[in-house]
Amino acid sequence: MRVLIVSGIWPPDVGGPASHAPDVAEFLRSRGHEVEVVTTADAPPAPRAYPIRAVPRHYRIGVRHYRGAALVHHRARHVDVVYTTGMFGRSALGSTMARKPFVVKLTADPAFERSRRRGFVAGDVDEFQDHGGGPAVALLRFARDVELRHAAHVFTPSAYLRDLALGWGVAPDRVSVLPNPSPVSVELGQRDELRRALGLNGATLVFAGRLTAQKSLERALEAVAGADGVRLVIAGDGPERQSLEARAGELGIGDRVTFLGAQPRERILELFHAADATILSSSWENFPHTVVEALAVGTPVLAMEAGGVSEVVQDGVNGLLAGPGDTAALGEAVRRYFADEPLRRRLRGAAASSVAEYAPERILAELEQVLRRVAAT
């Protein structure tokens, strides 16, 4: 089978698709399939054992989109199936023009993400489902629905997002839940040694991801501010970094919050393994890769309930959950966690086993099976 993988981001970019797409490529190659990649990039991606073709991001938006669709079309002609984790409009157009089926890995509501990015709407993804938003938003919704309804299959990482997709008119037999896999096993070393090497002293929380409005990290900062002696390490970059640094100063915890900037995936896994817990304060989420990654390396998650988070984080089992947008409850969860050593031991002991069913071999084999079926039609 020949597969074209399309991803809007690729290492060294940070984010779920930038982790997932290379894992899929390596898995498919290990199973004897031919793989190539189309993505966007600020600079040419590092060479791998398969072709990676990138549209430079310095092109203005219209040109970048045209070149992306044209590149997908050109490369799709030489494969059996297209698997896209982003650039859905370009993937749908390019694949359709090449008369090749495409499979979508949905990570969010594309219409909401596009509308929010352009400043057309505020609020969260649930509110977006019930509000108009004007002609521009209606057009983005229409584009989303057309793209997804023409896909041969749609994967969602959570039942929450599958329900949304069904509401957009995707046929039930063409959309299924495929959780984000846990990371491929890597040797992380002893936790105490990692803590020393990474300079983690005392009670430490870690967050990893894009610093965007969606992540609502100001809530995490406020939760940490109410927990004496607790430190927060933030790995990632994005448009909210400057305001978050300023907010940490305003809360008087600038000396307890460290901004590391973007980090490679291996370092993220080391940070998770070394931390006492990870924290997630997002306003809206689907099924974050970082939650599965943290649990897989044995680290509990302190999170606000949003989207599909509660499908993997079980309150009192492998982490602690606070209500959506409830900063006070998140702060109480942080204080409770660090005040109760038996609780920390119990949650840490259950973390890795709680995501055993997300082993990459099982999840990616299910993805391969669908790609084979679609390619054969």
Where are the domains positioned within the chain?
Answer: 2-181+359-375, 191-357
Query: What integer is the mean pLDDT of 247-266?
Result: 94
For the segment(s) 191-357, the CATH number from 1.10.10.1100, 3.30.200.20, 3.40.30.10, 3.40.50.2000 is 3.40.50.2000
Question: Can you tell me the distance from the alpha carbon of 229 to that of 214, in angstroms, rounded to the nearest whole number?
Answer: 27
Determine the pLDDT at residue 185: 65
Query: What integer is the mean pLDDT of 367-377?
Result: 96
CATH of domain 2-181+359-375: 3.40.50.2000
**Alpha-carbon dihedral sign for residues 202, 279, 260, 18:** positive
Query: What integer is the mean pLDDT of 308-329?
Result: 94
Q: Give the DSSP per-residue string, 312-361.
A: T--BTTTEEEE-TT-HHHHHHHHHHHHH-HHHHHHHHHHHHHHTGGG-HH
Determine the pLDDT at residue 288: 82
Closest CA to 100 of 91, 111, 108, 109: 91
Closest CA to 255 of 229, 277, 226: 229
Give yes or no on whether 2-181+359-375 and 191-357 have one common fold: yes
State how far Cα 219 lies from the chain centre.
19
In degrees to the nearest 10, what's the CA dihedral of 85, 88, 93, 99? 30
* Weakest mean pLDDT among 32-36, 61-65, 281-285: 281-285
If one compares 195 and 122, the residue with the highest pLDDT of the two is 195
Q: Looking at the chain, which runs of residues are DSSP E strands?
A: 2-7, 34-41, 52-56, 81-84, 102-105, 153-156, 175-177, 204-208, 231-235, 257-261, 277-280, 301-304, 319-322
